Amino acid sequence: MHEIEPHVYAIRMRNRFRGIEVREGVLLRGKTGWGEFCAFGNYSVAESAPWFSCAYESAMADWPEPVRERIPVNCTVPAVSPERAYEIVTTSGCHTAKVKVADPRSSIVEDCDRVAAVRDALGGSGGIRVDANGAWDVDDAVVAIGELDRAAKGLEYVEQPCPSVEELAAVRRKADVRVAADESIRLAEDPLRVAVAGAADVAVLKVAPLGGVHRALRVAEACGLPCVVSSAVETSVGLAAGLALAGALPGLEFACGLGTTSLLTGDVVPDSLSAVDGWLPVPRRAPAPDPALLRRYAADPATGERWLSRLSQVAAAGV
Ligand SMILES: O=C(O)CCC(=O)c1ccccc1C(=O)O
Ligand SMILES: [Mg+2]
């Protein structure tokens, strides 16, 4: 650990996202470069351990060889008004959008209006997927998916409609839209159970909770499903690891959920990894933060202490 130099950041989100208003984390400088540790606030030490492995790999090791140079990405639409949703999609330049639905603050009617505005913004050829973050039971999911699919004039897939693998499998049998598993993989003891149980058509892989690029690539190869790499809303430092995974996947059928620097009001690198025309480049290592930006987004001392203590607990648990 002695070679690591931690910088704690706090960056405000543009819109509240999954209950988060300020994204926080630690940037680590290692032997070969930089890494980012930003396990969500409510994660235990055990749940945060793979996030540290991912940061450690980024700062200390090489990522696998990429097989492509650039990645198509979706823009991410939080639970916002139809007008704001339209604006997010048009300014993103992306040809695919992921829309948050089933938020406790938003009704199914509002979800459908938001999805319809996203279809207007994308035009007929764009792809729309929705993410319910496990909010529905099976019956509610089947009804909501039907309505959202109509409002969208066709959905690519619905991400994590229900909490459990068994429920995902039931929705998959009853609904006409593909099912993608996210939390079922990211929080699972065994990420491959989803495929074995026939619960999903698509696997959403987040590189940090899977323990880094090399480990996530093994999960992708073993699960036998088409994969979508998605971010955990990192700065460009952490996002680079997700792009490295997307770059190394043997196949890539769908746009990835990596267009998320635009959800933050700032970044720690001068050339933010933000999508141009719906594409992001595959970096060979994480970009180095800029000292002035590290100062600008430095967390207050209490937040800094909290993250450093979390970091040392998680690091003590081992890579
Ligand atoms: O997939 C995307 O478009 C962006 C990433 C995203 O939605 C996300 C980011 C942080 C935590 C959870 C999620 C999620 O997919 O539910
Ligand atoms: Mg999700």
pLDDT at 29 over 70: yes
Assessment of whether the complete model's pTM goes beyond 0.90: yes
Summarize pLDDT for 205-216 with one digit per residue, the tens.
999 999 999 999
Do 129 and 9 belong together in one domain? no
Strands of 5-17's sheet in order across: 5-17, 20-29, 34-37
CATH number at residue 169: 3.20.20.120
Do 82 and 27 belong together in one domain? no
| CB distance 231 to ligand 1 below 6 Å | yes
Summarize pLDDT for 291-305 with one digit per residue, the tens.
999 999 999 999 999
Protein residue whose Cα sits closest to atom 4 of ligand 1: 257
C-alpha–C-alpha distance, residues 22 and 239, integer Å? 17
Do 306 and 256 belong together in one domain? no
Domain that holds residue 224: 70-281
Do 167 and 80 belong together in one domain? yes
Choice from 231, 256, 261, 273 to test ligand 1 binding pocket (greatest atom count within 8 A of CB)? 231
C-alpha–C-alpha distance, residues 195 and 182, integer Å? 12
- CB contact at 8 A, 197 and 165: yes
CATH number at residue 310: 3.30.390.10
Number of domains in the chain: 2
Taking residue 284's Cβ as centre, other Cβ atoms within 10 Å add up to: 13
Do 206 and 98 belong together in one domain? yes
- State the distance from the centre of ligand 1 to the C-alpha of 230, rounded, in angstroms: 6
pLDDT at 3 over 60: no
- State the distance from the centre of ligand 2 to the C-alpha of 160, rounded, in angstroms: 6
Which of 3-7, 38-42, 216-220 has the least mean pLDDT? 3-7
Do 302 and 226 belong together in one domain? no
Please name the residue that has the structure tokens 């938003």: 106
Do 113 and 258 belong together in one domain? yes
Which atom of ligand 1 is closest in space to residue 133's alpha carbon?
16
Q: With 0-12 CB in 10 A as exposed, 13-18 as middle and 19+ as buried, what is 55?
A: buried
Q: What is the mean pLDDT of residues 97-103?
A: 97
Looking at the chain, the whole-number percentage of residues with pLDDT higher than 90 is: 90
| CB distance 133 to ligand 1 below 6 Å | yes
Summarize pLDDT for 241-297 with one digit per residue, the tens.
999 999 999 999 999 999 999 999 999 999 999 999 999 999 999 999 999 999 999
ipTM of this complex prediction, to 2 decimal places = 0.98
Protein residue whose Cα sits closest to atom 12 of ligand 1: 232
pLDDT at 123 over 50: yes
- State the distance from the centre of ligand 1 to the C-alpha of 243, rounded, in angstroms: 14
Protein residue whose Cα sits closest to atom 3 of ligand 1: 257
